[in-house]
């Protein structure tokens, strides 16, 4: 288990606060539209539900197909991911 996962496992009040934030953030209209766009592309390309383990990602180079495991929390070139890991660029 990674450091953050251990923290949230042992601090239920912090886990509840994070869950509330994530719920509010993920329900924002722009986040929902982004998810809908990715889902639509995944269906159009025929990769939705076929078990290939791949999905689409927004990058500065446009839409890119990645393995789902790589896309989750990856160091992509999106600004939010870079800043979340302590880098300024």
pLDDT (mean) for 69-80: 64
Q: Is the pLDDT of residue 23 over 90?
A: yes
Using 50, 70 and 90 to split pLDDT, how confident is the model at 15? Answer: very high
54, 47 Cβ separation under 8 angstroms: yes
pLDDT (mean) for 23-51: 86
Which has more confidence, 45 or 88?
45
Q: Which of 53, 57, 74, 73 is nearest to 65 (CA)?
A: 57
Q: What is the pTM of this model?
A: 0.54
For the chain, give the mean pLDDT.
81
């Amino acid at each position: 288990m990674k450091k953050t996962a251990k923290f949230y496992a042992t601090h239920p009040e912090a886990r509840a606060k994070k869950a509330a934030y994530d719920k509010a953030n993920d329900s924002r209209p722009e986040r929902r539209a982004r998810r809908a766009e990715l889902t639509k592309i995944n269906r159009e390309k025929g990769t939705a539900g076929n078990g290939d383990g791949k999905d689409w990602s927004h990058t500065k180079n446009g839409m890119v197909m990645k393995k789902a495991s790589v896309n989750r929390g990856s160091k992509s070139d999106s600004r939010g991911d870079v800043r979340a890991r302590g880098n300024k660029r």
